[in-house]
Structure 1
Amino acid sequence: MSENDEVTRIPVGGERAYDVLVGSGLLGELPRLVDGAVRAAVLYAPPLKPHADEIAHLLADAGVTPLPIDMPDAEAGKTVDVAAHCWDQLGAAGFTRTDVVVGVGGGAVTDLAGFVAACWLRGVRWVPVSTSLLGMVDAAVGGKTGINTAAGKNLVGAFHPPAGVLCDLALLDTLPHVDLVAGLAEVVKCGFIADPAILDLIEGDPVTATHARTLRELVERAIRVKAHVVSNDLRESGLREILNYGHTLAHAVEKVEKYGWRHGHAVSVGLVYAAALGRLSGRLDEATAARHRRVLEALGLPTSYRADAWPDLLATMRVDKKARGSMLRFVVLDGLAKPSTLDGPDDSLLAAAYAEVSA
């Protein structure tokens, strides 16, 4: 992709509106987003040091003093200890309310960066620079920040919208293919809950889903779905719950795997489970339920998990953020692009749906 590609600006509304920028060669947009800052903390995982160094140089050239802070890669970086280390660095550098935090990496890095920014001085500006497909279509958009605890994933966090989001598609050129495909699970989710054209694109030719032109359209469509939802429900009081389609089981799988599984792989399994729940509860038609497995498998994503893990998965799901008291709640479909919730399903229904995933 050429650096001269047109930039797509996708607005995210709400009390603190911002734009998601999609294109190739976008890093030069960063100084404008941090205008007025004296210092910028640049949080990154070691594999992304070349990108972090480039961003640090861009900021320095714009008169902003960069403060590089490296953190453990992937979910290992989303802990209170890592956040505390970052806060110590901000304190030592004399960070003020006009300064900014920049997260360079995938969803785990931007989740942590946003949380660090949300808590420092009760909220300073931050900008996610997504380097993974998963981060672009999911974690970086929407202002949900957080860390993991022993009890589960993302149970501690804050709603803190960024100043803007940079989705530089050129950064995906060095992303391992397995991670690119894993990120497509979140794109597929958006297809089922809101934009079936996504599914049509993938089914038309699954191989080209990771090619530049098709991938850009998929990214933009998925971001538009999320932007529409979070513009109307920042704090997950209603509509935003639909973005958790497939995630109740997915987060449980990640915890059981001690976060060794890719998020997208867990979401893929979770989507098949949610489809089975919808069908078995009489809400979703057979054809749409079957389409979940077909689309995901066409991309090479996993659609099953271990049968013996069910007791641990069920126990973990009971502390999911969508639960209310002891009642489990799931996002299901009443039809294609017709998401709703299933409240308090019987344990026998939950087990029957899992039997289809573990078969």
Structure 2
Amino acid sequence: MEKITVSLANQQYQVLIEPGLLKTAGERIAKIWSARKVALISDDNVALLYQADLAAQLTAHGFEVHCYDFPAGEASKSLSQLQRLSEKLVAANFNRDDAVIALGGGVTGDLVGFLAATYMRGISLIQIPTSLLAQVDSSVGGKTAVDLGTTKNIVGAFYEPDLVLIDPETLKTLPPRDLVEGYGEIVKAAAMVGGDFWQLIEQIDTPEAILEHALGLIKYSIQFKTEVVMSDEKESGQRQLLNFGHTIGHAVEALSAGELRHGEAVSIGTVAICQAFENEGKTAPGITQKVKERLAAVGLPTTSPWLASDKVLDLIKHDKKNHNGYLNLVYVKTIGAPAILKAPADQIAAVLQLPR
């Protein structure tokens, strides 16, 4: 089993990574929490696969389990769904001593994490991510949020879990597109880390290879994110590195109106930012092609017609990461050497070579 400890100013928790871990999740949770009322929440796809078994495990350890689900998809990451789930907890008389478990992908982790952060001003939370995107990124670091319209993650809170349980075996139940989507975040991280992580990326040429090397890919990704989060929990400095590929990616994702998944948009955004900075001479020659090849090798998109839309610039300028008229653009000088450029929002079009 891989164990990674996240140590923050006011909290410490472990990320456990092991194939088959979901089969003993109840035992692991019982070591962290005393018996209490627990809301086990998943989308309606994941609920069918794993909810009943985990609920039985928890019940065997003395927990009173209430299972809830919601429609799968980004549209459920909303204030209306948050209200619906909150009302379920109120109806079941959940109090501050009770807890919530997010069992599912990134939407589940964000939505249920925000529910835990806001219900009675905060109740205990455990994250059990079942998608690759959630296992390598969103389940760790405490970011929880819902969307408003096309603006992603605009209403949220930093709220850390008490434990993260990652079972790579759950990836085998994912449709190919869902599996590959998460790989966009992995390549983004590997390009910043370099070394052994990038060498592993160079071995991945098919979606099947992602499954074969899942344990290593998850471990390297979480180690990188943990180091960044521990140095900058609330994104005032180095944590902004995690936005590599997201500045353009979020805009393209919004314009696609659901046609692109998050990881696919990050893939497109990562290539676009690399190319822009390579053209400016800030990224070493050939790096964009290297990154593009690794993403394309598993079938991820590396460009999009939405990049040519004049609406991209508007969305980027009004991104929630705009601070007093400036955007911090993350790029890589070369593989393993990330950097941040602070650019005035009114100069973004020129820097990123986007339509004005």
TM-superposition CA deviations, 1:46-99 (whole Å, max 9, x none): 111231111111111111111111112121111000001111111111112221
TM-superposition CA deviations, 1:228-266 (whole Å, max 9, x none): 111111111111110110011111122112233211111
Name which of 6, 10, 30 aligns with 1:12: 6
Indicate the SS of the match to 2:183.
helix
Indicate the SS of the match to 1:18.
strand
Q: What does residue range 342-353 of structure 1 map to in structure 2 within 5 Å?
A: 342-344=341-343, 346-350=347-351, 352=353
Indicate the SS of the match to 1:304.
coil
Matched, 1:190 2:189: yes
Alignment partners' CA distance in 2, 1:308 and 1:302: 12
Comparing 259-268 with 318-327, which one deviates more in the overlay?
318-327
Return the TM-score normalized by structure 1. 0.92
Give the Å deviation of 1:114: 0.5
Q: What does residue range 43-192 of structure 1 map to in structure 2 within 5 Å?
A: 43-49=41-47, 50-150=49-149, 152-192=151-191
When the two chains are superposed, the root-mean-square deviation of aligned CA atoms in Å is: 1.9
Give the Å deviation of 1:226: 0.6
User: CA separation of 1:33/1:116 partners in 2, compared to 1, >3 Å: closer, same or farther?
Assistant: farther
Give the Å deviation of 1:152: 0.6
Unaligned runs of 5+ residues in structure 1 are: 1-6
Alignment partners' CA distance in 2, 1:239 and 1:125: 27
Alignment partners' CA distance in 2, 1:342 and 1:97: 43
Counting matched residue pairs gives 348
Alignment partners' CA distance in 1, 2:43 and 2:107: 10
Q: What residue in structure 1 maps to residue 210 of structure 2?
A: 210
Give the Å deviation of 1:205: 4.5
Unaligned runs of 5+ residues in structure 2 are: none
Q: What does residue range 239-258 of structure 1 map to in structure 2 within 5 Å?
A: 239-258=238-257
Name which of 24, 30, 41 aligns with 2:19: 24
**What code does the residue aligned with 1:109 have?**
T
Identity across matched positions, percent:
33
Comparing 116-125 with 26-35, which one deviates more in the overlay?
26-35
Give the Å deviation of 1:127: 0.9
Alignment partners' CA distance in 1, 2:107 and 2:335: 30
TM-superposition CA deviations, 1:252-284 (whole Å, max 9, x none): 122112233211111100100110222133311
